[in-house]
Chains A and B, each alone.
Chain A
Amino acid sequence: MSASPFDPCQKYAERLVDSGDAASDPDLAAHLGTCLGCFRVATELRDAPRVAALLRQAEAAARQREPQPDERFWTEMSSRVLEAWPPARAEATRAVLARRPVAAEVVPSFAARLWAWLRMPIPAAACGAAAAVLVISTLGALGDRATSPARGPVPVAVQSSPPGAGTKAERGEPELENQKLFEELPAAEPLGPEDVALAQTEEVIDALGELDAVGLNTLLAGLDDELLAWPQGGEGNGEDTAEVETPFGTGSDLTDVAQDLDELDVSGLMALRDELEMNI
């Protein structure tokens, strides 16, 4: 393009290309009379209309010779394009994905990125320090718990346990755990004799409700004064006995029954057992 005739006289040359006729442009005609380069361009472009006409004629003749698409091809073109549109979009997407480098598709997981981050020097040191603090604090807490005495006063519930409940070894391991839990409870108001009797009576009712015939027989066979005397008050003199309603009567009724049972001999107990079996 450096040797373009448009360089010195580009404005006139472009006007020649646009019009192709300098006769209607006096300014252009005057310039052509003084510029050999532009005059040569005008001479070359003089054949442009003839060349264009010949090309159009040749194109029309070629269209007549060559087979042309039928009318159906033209009418269905738009629908074919619209039908081809989604697959073309999908194909373009696949092509874009195929051009992407393989390494770019491998996205590390969150765990992998976290592990890589933890392996860096500063995060690794911070995590180690945090773990050390956690271990030390845990060990310190365990040591304090092992050496500290039982907190708080002994609950009244433990004091109101039935006499003759036995030692820790006799009560077994689960009961020891319950005992420990009771010891850890905060201090509570001391329970009155009525509360103790009511709570224990409810426990007895629940236990008797779960017993079957054999269990009841066993229970009745083992009755003695100590077990039957539990509804009595904390003073143990019988005057403050709480009148607690039970399926067998009030607490004083139970005391009378216990005395009657104590006076029974073996044959009487057997008769009582048979009667209870019949009732059950």
Chain B
Amino acid sequence: MLLEIEAAPVTQSGLFEMTAPVPPSDEELVKSARGGSRTAFEALVRRHQRPLYYLCHRYVRDPDAAADLVQRAFVRVLEKLDDLRADSTFRSWLFRIGANLALNHIRDHARFVDEEAAAADEVAPLSHPDAQLEAAELGAALRHAVALLPTKQRMTLELRVYEELSFRDIAAALDTTEGAAKVNFHYAVRRLRSLMSDPTAGKAKTPRATP
């Protein structure tokens, strides 16, 4: 403690410069939450609730359902907090729970998919692969193409692109190996390239992901 005080920078007024406190890591918060700290768990929720919401929303396309899934995912975290492995990060584990809940929600509500919402997500036909499309149209087409990917490839791609997880964390989240996660990412990118070049390639499949 003495060394920390001596190393602290001193301002011209003679007072120690106050540095912003370093926020605790997820591992520290998880450890405290396991010990019964409500504050630590609330900090975990505040830190990860928005990314988890958007992850669920990408699957279910419904704000209310996504909000419900977020709450259920955190309740599941409370239930299974002791099962979190040491080699898995809390973030990847949380995203895995959220993605599985979202996929189950899609499976359970497959008959009640809003047809209008599905029609609104239809990919605009590309007149030519080399045509200069606006970024918004191309982005919408890619989003729809992502929804057509197999589940493993889709989850790998989304965790990599949106959440910027490492392949190690993705492998932990999907309970697979790091090499398999890289293979899935490569396959997802290759499939997106083919779908972008031929929008009718995935028409026969349902626009919703199948678990």
CB pair B38–A82 under 8 Å, yes or no, is yes
Measured in the bound complex, the distance between the Cα atoms of B79 and A63 in whole Å is 31
CB pair A55–B143 under 8 Å, yes or no, is yes
Closest to B140 in A: A58
Residue from B46, B140, B142, B190 in contact with A44 in the complex, judged by beta carbons closer than 8 Å: B190
Q: In the complex where A17-B167, A77-B74, A92-B79 touch, is A54 in contact with B142 (Cβ < 8 A)? A: yes
1/0 per position for B184-195, CB-CB distance to A under 8 A?
011001101100
Measured in the bound complex, the distance between the Cα atoms of B178 and A66 in whole Å is 34
Residue from A6, A73, A82 in contact with B179 in the complex, judged by beta carbons closer than 8 Å: A6
Measured in the bound complex, the distance between the Cα atoms of B181 and A13 in whole Å is 12
Measured in the bound complex, the distance between the Cα atoms of B189 and A5 in whole Å is 14
Residue from B41, B71, B74, B161 in contact with A55 in the complex, judged by beta carbons closer than 8 Å: B161
1/0 per position for B36-51, CB-CB distance to A under 8 A?
0010011001100110
Say if the beta carbon of A74 comes within 8 Å of chain B.
Answer: yes
Measured in the bound complex, the distance between the Cα atoms of B38 and A15 in whole Å is 42
- A77 proximity list for chain B (CB < 8 A): 45-46, 49, 70-71, 74
For A, the interface residue count at a CB cutoff of 8 angstroms equals 42
Measured in the bound complex, the distance between the Cα atoms of B186 and A14 in whole Å is 9
Closest to B160 in A: A52
Nearest CB of chain B from residue A5's CB, rounded to whole Å: 8
CB pair B63–A44 under 8 Å, yes or no, is no
Say if the beta carbon of B65 comes within 8 Å of chain A.
Answer: no
CB pair A18–B167 under 8 Å, yes or no, is yes
In A45-70, which residues have CB < 8 Å from any B CB?
45, 47-48, 51-52, 54-59, 61-63, 66-69
Say if the beta carbon of B53 comes within 8 Å of chain A.
Answer: yes
CB pair B79–A58 under 8 Å, yes or no, is no
Query: In terms of DSSP, what is the predominant structure of the interface of chain A?
Result: helix
1/0 per position for A145-162, CB-CB distance to B under 8 A?
000000000000000000
CB pair A55–B139 under 8 Å, yes or no, is yes
Nearest CB of chain A from residue B156's CB, rounded to whole Å: 11
Nearest CB of chain A from residue B33's CB, rounded to whole Å: 11
CB pair A81–B71 under 8 Å, yes or no, is yes
Say if the beta carbon of A250 comes within 8 Å of chain B.
Answer: no
Say if the beta carbon of B131 comes within 8 Å of chain A.
Answer: no
Measured in the bound complex, the distance between the Cα atoms of B41 and A172 in whole Å is 90
CB pair B42–A78 under 8 Å, yes or no, is yes
CB pair B67–A55 under 8 Å, yes or no, is no
Nearest CB of chain A from residue B179's CB, rounded to whole Å: 6
- B136 proximity list for chain A (CB < 8 A): 57-58, 61
Closest to B66 in A: A69
CB pair A85–B75 under 8 Å, yes or no, is yes
Residue from A45, A52, A57, A66 in contact with B186 in the complex, judged by beta carbons closer than 8 Å: A45
Measured in the bound complex, the distance between the Cα atoms of B54 and A66 in whole Å is 11
- B79 proximity list for chain A (CB < 8 A): 88-89, 92
CB pair A45–B139 under 8 Å, yes or no, is no
Say if the beta carbon of A80 comes within 8 Å of chain B.
Answer: yes
CB pair A48–B67 under 8 Å, yes or no, is no
CB pair B75–A55 under 8 Å, yes or no, is no
CB pair B50–A55 under 8 Å, yes or no, is no
Measured in the bound complex, the distance between the Cα atoms of B45 and A268 in whole Å is 115
A-B contact pairs, 14 of them (CB 8 A): A6-B183, A14-B182, A47-B193, A52-B160, A54-B138, A55-B139, A55-B162, A56-B161, A57-B135, A59-B58, A59-B162, A61-B139, A78-B74, A82-B38
If A6-B183, A10-B179, A57-B135 are given as contacts, then 8 extra A-B residue pairs at C-beta distance below 8 Å, sorted by A number, are A5-B186, A14-B178, A48-B185, A55-B143, A58-B135, A77-B46, A82-B41, A84-B75
Chain A residues with a Cβ under 8 A of chain B: 1, 4-6, 10, 13-14, 17-18, 41, 44-45, 47-48, 51-52, 54-59, 61-63, 66-69, 73-74, 77-82, 84-85, 88-89, 92
